[in-house]
Amino acid sequence: MSTAIRASSILPGRREDIDLHTADGLRLVGELSRPVDRPPVATLVCLHPLPTHGGMMDSHVLRKAAWRLPALADLAVLRFNTRGTSSLRGTSEGAFDGAVGERFDVAAAIEYAEFHELPNVWLLGWSFGTDLALKYGCDPSVTGAILLSPPLRFSTPEDLATWAGSGKPVTALVPEFDDYLRPDEARERFAAIPQAEVVGVPGAKHLWVGDAETVLDEVVRRVAPAVPLPLPTTWDGPMETGDVSAYADRTVASFADTPVPGPAPDGAA
The pLDDT score that the predictor gives to residue 154 is 96
Count of the separate structural domains present in the chain: 1
Residues 47 and 123: their CA atoms lie apart, in Å, by 7
CB-CB neighbours of 149 under 10 Å: 31
- Predicted confidence at residue 250, as pLDDT, reads 58
Round to whole Å and give the CA distance between 144 and 59.
21
The phi, psi pair for 127, rounded to 5°, reads 55, -115
Helices (H) and strands (E) in the chain, counts: 6, 14
- Going by C-alpha positions, the residue among 31, 40, 33 that lies closest to residue 67 is 33
Tell whether 105 is covered by a domain.
Answer: yes
Q: What integer pLDDT is reported at residue 224 of this predicted model?
A: 98
Asked if residue 263 is part of any domain, the answer here is no
- Three-state DSSP class for 97? coil
Contact, 256 vs 209, CB < 8 A?
A: yes
Establish if 204 belongs to a structural domain.
yes
pLDDT above 70 covers a percentage of the chain that reads 92
Does 251 have pLDDT greater than 50?
no
Question: For the residues 221-228, what does the mean pLDDT come to?
Answer: 98
CA 129/CA 89 separation, integer angstroms: 19
Q: Is the pTM of this model over 0.95?
A: no
List Cβ neighbours of 194 (8 Å cut-off, separation of 6 or more): 164
DSSP β-bridge partners for residue 42 = 75
| 262 within domain boundaries | no
Find the length of the chain. Answer: 269
> For 4-58, how does the pLDDT look when each residue is reduced to its tens digit (9 = 90+)?
999 999 999 999 999 999 999 999 999 999 999 999 999 999 999 999 989 999 9
248 domain residue, yes or no:
yes
Give the C-alpha separation, 239 to 235, whole Å: 8
Q: How close are the terminal C-alpha atoms of the chain, in Å?
A: 40
Average model confidence (pLDDT) across the chain: 92
CATH number for the domain including 20? 3.40.50.1820
- Residue 264 within any structural domain of the chain: no
The answer to whether residue 231 sits within a structural domain is yes
Domain assignment present for 260 = no
What is the span of the domain harbouring residue 122? 3-255
Bridge partners for 235 per DSSP: 3
pLDDT single digits (tens) 126-158: 999 999 999 999 999 999 999 999 999 999 999
